[in-house]
Structure 1
Amino acid sequence: MQLKYHEAAKEKGVYLVSACGFDSIPADMGTVFLEQQFDGVVNSVESYVMSRMKGQQELGSIHYGTWASAVHAIANMKEVGAIRRELFKTKMPEVTPKLKERPVFHKSSGNKWSLPFMGADRSCVLRTQRFLYETEGKRPLQMRAYISFGGLVEVMAVSFIGAIFWLLVKTSVGQNLLLNYPRLFSLGLVSHEGPSERAMNNTTFTMHFEGRGWEEKLAEPSDNYTTPPNKVIRTKVTGTNPGYGATCVALLLSAKTILNEADKMPGNGGFLTPGAAFGKTNLISELCNNGFTFEVVSKAKL
């Protein structure tokens, strides 16, 4: 979409903003919020998303559409890589210290077993950082995204499903099996009906962020610090009914923001990420007035 329509949208003065639901609005706008609250220069951000259902757990609470989207997305990863190489020909500056990826199985700072998150959060945030570097000269931050679970058994079950999924999605036969028998290959988690009304209303999400950086600012974004980060901030974004209610609210408020606050958006149009499009608008305040929370958990010197 960006490769095909960005220049045309700019010429027409039209804003096309992708990823305006869960979970990229919490991830990208959550990163924007963290930077706003940091009071310094952020070098790296790690996010941990976790979703919990109150009361009795239900099988089949993941809708088939989500499953099918994952199948097609992973099956076409090579094509996505080629598109990104075409889009992003300019190399980003090297920033240090490098944010290392954590082990596949690890515990978050909140003591929750976690895995790398395979969704679009990281790529969305990094696209925002590229845009801000290219248009404003901002030093790009590094980002890693993870997903947390209630316990080790849950992590192992999800890992088992993920391993089967990854093996099958590499061939057309495997893709057809995944698409035709979603309940079987997800151990009952996926259904064509999706979650019940009760399940949706009793499901909450929390996205924790940890940002590290410096209190002092450098003259140029391409400059590197000679000392380790000396400051850490922890923030979180929370909400209810992530896949449906929160997504609809985020989408509608994003559209409303384009209508009401276009003067606070960059340039005169184009294909943008939420953080690039809405970073200087009141979208975060609007989200907080409609069921989301964005809050600072702690700040400390290192």
Structure 2
Amino acid sequence: YRFFGEPVVEACVENGASCIDISGEPQFLEGMYLKYNEKAAEKGVYVIGSCGFDSIPADMGVLYTRDKLKGTLTAVESFLSVKSGPEVRWFLPCAIHVVADKDNLRKIQNKIGYAPVPVVGAKLKKRRFACYNQEFKEYSIPLQGTDASVVKRTQRYLHTELQETPIQYGAYVNVGGLGSVIKLMFAGMLFLLLVKFEFGRKLLTKYPEFFSAGRFTKEGPTQKQV
């Protein structure tokens, strides 16, 4: 989306059509909000991103929990467990650019000038990098993705526009035992080192299968995966 998504958003807004996509790229989502939010409002259309696995389950899950809970919900944590078969491969280039461009994301958010969302109830503490989850009997790490920012944007809107109680949110992914945590740490350090440099990003983009032991690919999903 960072390379090909904006012309679609621009065309929709200029021609009075709403735009819905499944982007999970924070920089793209925030950038489109910064550039086209006012224009979309003037045209009376909607630009809605992250309408796929990023981040419908998280965003709607928080609202569903709020509606079903008796009382005032102030915080939610989600834990994602991924059970994938041998046919599943993940798309790496998107993650490379998202991580490499984190500084630009902060600049965009500063330009938007989001008002802080007030904390209601006890402040939700962030769990450390790898914590053992007694309920799932495995280790969990913070989920790097759009879920937290999308949920926070929704909660900011509900609080600002509808005066609803904002809900804090934390997203985590279960990774297995201690061995998985150690392997993930080494892989993560290598990934973070390589994405800092153009040469490293080219290597990751060209040989994702090699650097991820076959878990990531530079190709899109196969017909069987779809």
| Normalised-by-shorter TM-score class | 0.7 to 0.9
TM-score by length of 2: 0.78
TM-score by length of 1: 0.60
Match of 1:76 among 101, 105, 109: 101
Query: Would you say 1:35 and 2:62 are equivalent positions?
Result: no
Check whether the contact 2:92–2:217 (CA below 8 A) recurs between aligned residues.
no
Q: Whose strand proportion is higher, 1 or 2?
A: 1
1:21 is matched with which residue? Answer: 52
Check whether the contact 2:92–2:218 (CA below 8 A) recurs between aligned residues.
no
1:3 is matched with which residue? Answer: 34
1:175 is matched with which residue? Answer: 201
**Runs of 5+ consecutive residues of structure 2 not aligned to the other structure:** 1-31
- Aligned-residue identity in percent: 38
1:50 is matched with which residue? Answer: 81
Query: Would you say 1:102 and 2:133 are equivalent positions?
Result: no
* 1:1-302 equivalence runs, <5 A: 1-53=32-84, 57-58=85-86, 61-63=88-90, 66-108=91-133, 109-193=135-219, 200=225, 244=226
Q: How far did residue 5 of structure 1 move? A: 0.8
**Runs of 5+ consecutive residues of structure 1 not aligned to the other structure:** 201-243, 245-302
Q: How far did residue 149 of structure 1 move? A: 2.5
Check whether the contact 1:161–1:187 (CA below 8 A) recurs between aligned residues.
no
Residues 74-100 of structure 1: CA deviation (Å, up to 9, x unaligned): 111111111112223423224341111
Q: Determine the C-alpha separation between the residues in 2 that align with 1:58 and 1:155.
A: 21
Q: How far did residue 169 of structure 1 move? A: 1.0
1:137/1:88 CA distance change after superposition, 3 Å: farther
2:198 maps to a residue whose letter is: S
2:147 maps to a residue whose letter is: D
Q: How far did residue 160 of structure 1 move? A: 2.2
The number of residue pairs the alignment matches comes to 194
1:272 is matched with which residue? Answer: none
Q: Determine the C-alpha separation between the residues in 2 that align with 1:127 and 1:62.
A: 30
Q: Whose RCO is larger (CA < 8 A, sep 6+)? A: 1
2:117 maps to a residue whose letter is: M
Q: Determine the C-alpha separation between the residues in 1 that align with 2:82 and 2:220.
A: 16
